[in-house]
Structure 1
Amino acid sequence: IPVLHFLVTELEKSTWENKALLDEVVTILNTEEVALNKANPDEPNNIFSVTELEWFAKTSYNIALKSAKPAHLEHFAEKCQHQQGLKSNFSFSQHYFLCDFLKTVRIIEDIHKETNITEKAKLYHEIHKITKHFREQINTHQTEISRTETEHQEWLSKYRIILALDLEASIFLNDWTTVSIIVEESSAIIDEKLSSIFLDRILRSEAPITDIVRTVKELIRTLHGSPSPHLNKTHFRQTLPRYLRCLFQLSLDAADYHLAESVLDQALVLARDRRPESSRSLYLYPSDEIQWLSTVAFNRAVDFYLASADADCQRWAKKAITLADLDDCDTLGRLLRGKFETLT
């Protein structure tokens, strides 16, 4: 340990860039790991004290945290995860999760710099493997790693980052089943920032439109039913029109007119709540969203008319006009009503 302590001190002086010193530290850690692996797990550990094992683990993590090279990072993070013999006064699970988190964040830096698609895919697979383990274990060990409210909030923040990065990896790998699982899993801890990141990642993907539509719909449903105390319900109601706008346009692009019409119906219900006489008048459906949605819906009605789908035309046009009439300015309602009369 004195030798390792000296090398770490020298590493710090070199701003963690000295490869020769890093290699020496790796050699010592490898020797320590071999010694521990040879020990009988059923017998007391007489090689290193608990204090020394804790120091080995924390030192490995700190080197991983400060090392500028991702290759060094991953090696040291693995070492600090493989310490054995730590007792209850040291949170082994917490340390393990920290290493998973650190590896994930640092590998994602490489991914965003990588231009080769094949190499990106390899790195995303690695991200997915690490984050999957983190997600599987985090709830089981929540009590152990969150002994105070501050620790609890810190781990929730890391958990959200892990979910966001795993969603990014799954989208890149075209694993939309896992994307759906991640969205559903987030329900208990989701907040405005995470939901916004999810929506952005989904919309920016180059996936088939049907996958995007389905996942946006799942995200809205998750937000609707979320028990998360971190999701401000008032804020959600204020941002819901943006989500509905996205889903409406996506469903039209996918020619899923049944879904688009159900979104239009939901918007009508929410827009009625903005009227002054409504008991929920504190919530206002944005005027610009009403105008956009009613205009696009009416244009769709015209398309139905041109396709001789008279029943669909009548239904969509009436809903578009009803929605426009709910706006504070009735100019659009009169305009659409006049256009509708020319169709009939």
Structure 2
Amino acid sequence: MRLGLKVLRNCVDSGEVKLAGMVVQTVADYKEWLKTSADNLPEEEARECQCLELEYFIMRTAMCWVENRLDVAEHMYTKAEPLRQFLTPEYAERLADVLYEIGKSLSKRNDFTIGIKWFERANDVINGQGLEQLSREGLELRLAILQALVSALLGAGTPDGFEKAKNYVGFLEAEAGNKFVVSLLKLELLQKTPAEVFDSEAYSVVLQYIIRNFASSDSGFKLIMHHIRKLHDKSPGAACAVLDDFIVALGRAANGGWLEKAVVTRMWMITNQRDSVETVNAAQTILGHLAKPLSAEAAVAAQALLWKKLESNYGQGQYDLAESWCQLSLHKVFYNCGAANSSKLERKLLMCALAKNSLDAAASVINKMSQQSWKEPMTAYLAFKVAIRLEDREMAEKCLETVGQAPDHVDYLGACIAESQKAGDIMCAISALKKLQEKYEYAEPNTVHLPALFRCSIRLLNLLAERPAADTSNIVTDLCGEFEAVVLALERQKGDSSARRKLFTVDELEWFSRNAYNLALKNTTVWELRCVVRMLTSCVNIISHFPADAGPRGELSLKTLFSHFVISSALVALARTQDNVERQREDYAAMRKHVAAFDNELPEYLPQLDEQLRDDMLRKHATILAFDFEAAIALKQWEDLGVIVQRAVPCRNITAFQAMADGLLRAQAQGQALYSTMRKIVNEIWVLESFDAVKLAKYTRCLFQATLPLDDGLAMRLLDEACSKARELRESEAAWPEEELEWMATTSFNHAIDCYSAHEIERAKKWATKAINLAHYCHDGTLEEILQSKYLRLSLDGGSA
């Protein structure tokens, strides 16, 4: 019978209902045999038979429960009731365990009313024995039955059930003291009290007792955390206080995983409370008790919770609270959250300070920022806003440098430009524009309109230059640099066949050329000449990029011609005052290019002008040709001198020829170049109406004087020409000046004597003869007689005269 009941119990426990039915039939036969035999057995054995019969009915009850035939189960239990008086402690424990399992199963299905009945039956069975007679397992079962009964009574949710549960808990506490299970039952009892009378303080006291006696097990940790959450549902403040105590206790434990879970839960709790600085400060305080940072996973989880709260407060304009959440999120225990998260939080802290317009606080945040934060373009942009308002130019430049290195620099640099203009800081706006220009090559198509960048920079630089205390020199240099950058961009566009490079329309070209031209002319007497040259050179280069079908070119040609004229005038002025010979040569060479460009442009434009404008343009042409002549002399380009004179002929400008002649006479020119060029100049002067004999004689004498030491053959030709001119003028009113004739005749005769002394007899005779011939045209004839007398003496005595 014992063996059969044991097999039956195993079948029931494992759910082998069919097999259990077969065993029951066999055990039933044994039960009947025992019942008939019990009267003939000794009292002790007869009692054993009655206990086995009772266990049989209880197992039949369990079988019916497994088969979900509760009515039959109830019947079987009723049949077992009369036999309870015969139970021994061992059989009582076995019977109570079966009844407990039935009740527990019903409670799991939330069938608390029936479950309570079976728990009470189990409680009656186990309590029918003296406590001292129960085994250790029996005592534990008794406690489990009471705990399950209290839970079922509370689960039923009736006032009567609540009172019964309360009495049971009181009974347990009186009997067993403040054991762990009693504390749990007290917590469960407190949970079921109505919300309006919930005693959060009592709940906290019980929890704190459990925490003080924490057994350092996973189950214990989970149980405490479960009840802390339950407390949080009804009293968030009390739950936070209890959890703070638990965190402090866990800080001394070896298991860091428990501590991290508790901290994350604490962060979750605070984010579900009503917002206040005090609650955040309380969380700061408890985090200060932690000895080391949390793991990366825990830190990120906690910060994710805090970030939502932070964003919510920031979005609602509650910047003080948002700032407090930032400070909490940046606590040192979250060090392992990662550089990106820290940067994001530092940036949000900076945004809070900016939103409150607290520049000192913003500057403090910036000074404490990590290097990783500085690498973020968004952080640099926010720091730029602070620097602009604090007028910290060094910090602003640092921020622009960081923003400029970002892949998505376009938007951030655009924002920096807008901030600079909003704050009235033109210098920073210009600096940001330059960064954007530098990064143009790396910008996505259509995100940056390069001509617009140049226009903005030029306008801002122009505004800056007009300020009274502005550093005009540097500003003008930057302004010239912008126009030169335009030219460079145009050159790139010209060589680029892709569609997106065709940025400079005719309107754009007209704007840049017009502004370069007007700025240069407006400031010709104010700016350094070299800046005027740079600006007008840019103007000319921009005009050269106008398409051929851009319409009438009259105005463009006029701008081009006048630009070349002013550039040439400025370059010659710079060259004349230049101490550096190499730089002087560069200026002259550059000037010659502009003169050549003027020459090429003029013929096409000249027919379009009226007489007055044509005369003015020819005067300008003659002037820069004189400059060109001067440059050719300085560069020792002797072969170009005659060409320049020839180009100046249509201008019919005596002043230009005089300037050329003066320059040529002062130069140490080659003999042939000097002679041929001066002859051309003199001939051109001769045919002009305003020329007279005095000037002709002067130029002839000067040319003779310059040529004689270099090439006396050329000088002799000049002497012949002088004789010819003197003969022609003798018959007119404009006679050759007497002193010029005397000087040239005397100089020529002296040169004859030099030749004679050098034993060049024939050459000496030629020079002497020509000198006497020139002296013939002197009015009094005295000089001619003297030279003839000396010539005769020279011939007779071999040169003693």
Q: Distance in 2 between matches of 1:51 and 1:117?
A: 38
Identify the match of residue 768 of structure 2 among 313, 317, 322.
317
Q: What corresponds to 2:587 in structure 1?
A: 123
TM-score w.r.t. the length of structure 1 is 0.79
Q: Quote how far apart the aligned CAs of 1:94 are.
A: 0.9
Q: Quote how far apart the aligned CAs of 1:155 are.
A: 1.1
Q: What corresponds to 1:216 in structure 2?
A: 678
Q: What corresponds to 2:728 in structure 1?
A: 273
Question: Map of 1:39-78 to 2, 5 A cutoff?
Answer: 48=507, 55-56=514-515, 58-63=517-522, 65-78=524-537
Q: Distance in 2 between matches of 1:170 and 1:327?
A: 39
Q: Quote how far apart the aligned CAs of 1:46 are.
A: 6.8
Identify the match of residue 735 of structure 2 among 284, 306, 311.
284
Q: Distance in 1 between matches of 2:727 and 2:490?
A: 71
Q: Quote how far apart the aligned CAs of 1:109 are.
A: 2.4
Identify the match of residue 569 of structure 2 among 101, 105, 111.
105
Question: Map of 1:1-344 to 2, 5 A cutoff?
Answer: 8=462, 11=465, 14=468, 18-19=472-473, 21-22=475-476, 25=479, 48=507, 55-56=514-515, 58-63=517-522, 65-81=524-540, 82-83=542-543, 84=546, 87-88=551-552, 91-144=555-608, 147-223=609-685, 231-232=688-689, 235-257=691-713, 259-275=714-730, 278=731, 281-344=732-795
Q: Distance in 2 between matches of 1:55 and 1:292?
A: 58
Preserved CA contact (<8 Å) 1:64 1:77: no
Preserved CA contact (<8 Å) 1:60 1:80: no
Q: Quote how far apart the aligned CAs of 1:4 are.
A: 6.3
Q: Quote how far apart the aligned CAs of 1:335 are.
A: 1.5
SS in 2 for 1:152: helix
RCO greater where, 1 or 2, for CA within 8 Å and sep 6 or more? 1
| 1:101 partner amino acid | F
Preserved CA contact (<8 Å) 1:63 1:73: no
Q: Name the stretch that deviates more: 301-310 or 174-183.
A: 301-310
Preserved CA contact (<8 Å) 2:675 2:707: yes
| 2:788 partner amino acid | R
Q: Quote how far apart the aligned CAs of 1:239 are.
A: 1.4
Q: Distance in 2 between matches of 1:163 and 1:268?
A: 32
Preserved CA contact (<8 Å) 1:183 1:219: yes
Q: Distance in 2 between matches of 1:31 and 1:116?
A: 28
Q: Distance in 2 between matches of 1:118 and 1:268?
A: 44
Q: Distance in 2 between matches of 1:169 and 1:247?
A: 20
Aligned length: 329
SS in 1 for 2:746: helix
Q: Name the stretch that deviates more: 332-341 or 165-174.
A: 332-341
Preserved CA contact (<8 Å) 1:101 1:158: yes
TM-score w.r.t. the length of structure 2 is 0.37
Preserved CA contact (<8 Å) 2:752 2:764: yes
1:135-174 Cα deviation digits (max 9, x unpaired): 2322232223xx1222112211211121111111111111
Structure 1 vs Structure 2: percent identity of aligned residues?
21
Larger radius of gyration: 2
Q: Distance in 2 between matches of 1:135 and 1:246?
A: 30
| 2:750 partner amino acid | N
Q: Distance in 1 between matches of 2:763 and 2:666?
A: 31
Q: Name the stretch that deviates more: 304-313 or 68-77.
A: 304-313
Q: Quote how far apart the aligned CAs of 1:291 are.
A: 0.5
Larger helix percent: 2
SS in 1 for 2:708: helix
Q: Distance in 2 between matches of 1:303 and 1:28?
A: 66
Q: Name the stretch that deviates more: 168-177 or 285-294.
A: 168-177
Q: Quote how far apart the aligned CAs of 1:308 are.
A: 4.4
| 2:627 partner amino acid | L
Q: Quote how far apart the aligned CAs of 1:315 are.
A: 3.8
| 1:120 partner amino acid | Q
Gaps of 5+ in 2: 1-454, 796-801
Return closer, same or farther for 1:16/1:93 CA change in 2, 3 Å cut-off. Answer: farther
Preserved CA contact (<8 Å) 1:187 1:223: no
Gaps of 5+ in 1: none
| 1:114 partner amino acid | Q
SS in 2 for 1:91: helix
